[in-house]
């Protein structure tokens, strides 16, 4: 893929990141509903303030900065264009990434992964990639993709049912939805995509604990780690 095309794809990613913040905030009602106190991943209780983040390029609000998400979107799209630019499945991967940016915003803002958005991830990969595989004459990739769904669903469901593990069922559904594109990309991507989220989350928790930003009982979103791990697996394999 030419440098001009990569740059254009990165610009599209930046635009997707800019749009992700208002869409994500609207999806979870941030800024409209009364403040709520988080009592666990995916659950909240009314009556206490949320942690405050800066959403726009200036001014505090709930959620990540809009400019930050735009930069992340540019990096995500640009790296996918470099790593997967020669594959016909790139548009489907970019669609999944766009919805993933919105899900990262919702999880960081309200510890929620709304089912309609997770469903959009599943549809983006589940419809776009099979069509690509059939057109490209590679139907065998669909078998690995389905195995990826099964392994992701089974593994994360098992973890979510373990006592003391703060893994919500929204995380389980997101991992299952992303298992399809991971499997479609092949076994190396699938293995890496199943491993990296836990590594990224563990390192993040250790850094935040060392910096005194969180306590051991502080609920943290896991969706961004799943999304980041999937993206890294797609780029590195």
Do 55 and 43 meet the contact criterion of CB atoms below 8 Å apart?
no
Q: Residue 159: count other Cβ atoms within 10 Å of its Cβ.
A: 15
Q: How high is the pLDDT of residue 35?
A: 41
Q: Model-level pTM?
A: 0.87
For the chain, domain boundaries: 3-236
Residue 34 pLDDT greater than 60, yes or no? no
**Nearest 10 degrees: Cα torsion 65, 66, 71, 74:** 150
Name the E strands within the chain.
Answer: 36-40, 43-46, 53-54, 60-61
Average pLDDT, integer, range 107-113: 95
Q: How high is the pLDDT of residue 45?
A: 39
Residue 140 pLDDT greater than 50, yes or no? yes
Q: How high is the pLDDT of residue 137?
A: 82
Name the E strands within 9-71.
Answer: 36-40, 43-46, 53-54, 60-61
pLDDT digits (tens, 9 = 90+) for 177-215: 999 999 999 999 999 999 999 999 999 999 999 998 888
- In the DSSP assignment, the letter for residue 216 is T
Counting DSSP H helices and E strands in the chain, the numbers are: 8, 4
Q: How high is the pLDDT of residue 21?
A: 96
Rounded to whole angstroms, how far apart are CA atoms 232 and 224? Answer: 12
| Pairing, β 43-46 against β 60-61 | unpaired
Residue 37 pLDDT class (50, 70, 90 cuts): very low
Average pLDDT, integer, range 79-96: 94
Residue 132 pLDDT class (50, 70, 90 cuts): confident
Rounded to whole angstroms, how far apart are CA atoms 124 and 106? Answer: 19
pLDDT digits (tens, 9 = 90+) for 38-79: 333 333 434 333 444 444 464 445 678 899 999 999 999 999
Residue 147 pLDDT greater than 50, yes or no? yes
> Mean pLDDT across the chain, nearest whole number?
87
∠ CA(155), CA(89), CA(99), 5° rounding?
60
């Amino acid at each position: 893929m030419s440098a001009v095309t990569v740059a254009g794809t990165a610009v599209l990613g930046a635009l997707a990141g800019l749009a992700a913040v208002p869409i994500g905030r609207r999806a979870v009602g941030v800024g409209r509903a009364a403040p709520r106190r988080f009592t666990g991943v995916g659950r909240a209780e009314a009556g206490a303030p949320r942690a405050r983040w800066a959403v726009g390029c200036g001014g505090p609000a709930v959620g990540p900065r809009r400019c930050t998400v735009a930069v992340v979107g540019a990096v995500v799209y640009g790296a996918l264009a470099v790593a997967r630019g020669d594959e016909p499945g790139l548009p489907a991967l970019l669609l999944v990434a766009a919805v993933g940016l919105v899900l990262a915003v919702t999880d960081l803002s309200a510890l929620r992964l709304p089912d309609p958005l997770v469903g959009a991830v599943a549809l983006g990969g589940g419809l776009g990639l099979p069509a690509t595989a059939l057109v490209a004459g590679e139907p065998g990739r669909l078998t690995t993709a389905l195995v990826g769904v099964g392994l992701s669903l089974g593994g994360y469901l098992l973890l979510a049912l373990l006592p003391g593990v703060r893994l919500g069922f929204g995380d389980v559904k997101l991992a299952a939805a992303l298992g399809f594109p991971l499997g479609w990309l092949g076994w190396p991507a699938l293995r890496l995509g199943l491993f990296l989220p836990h590594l990224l989350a563990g390192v993040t928790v250790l850094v935040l604990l060392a910096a005194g930003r969180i306590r051991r009982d502080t609920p943290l979103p896991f969706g961004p780690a799943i999304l980041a791990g999937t993206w890294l697996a797609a780029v590195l394999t």
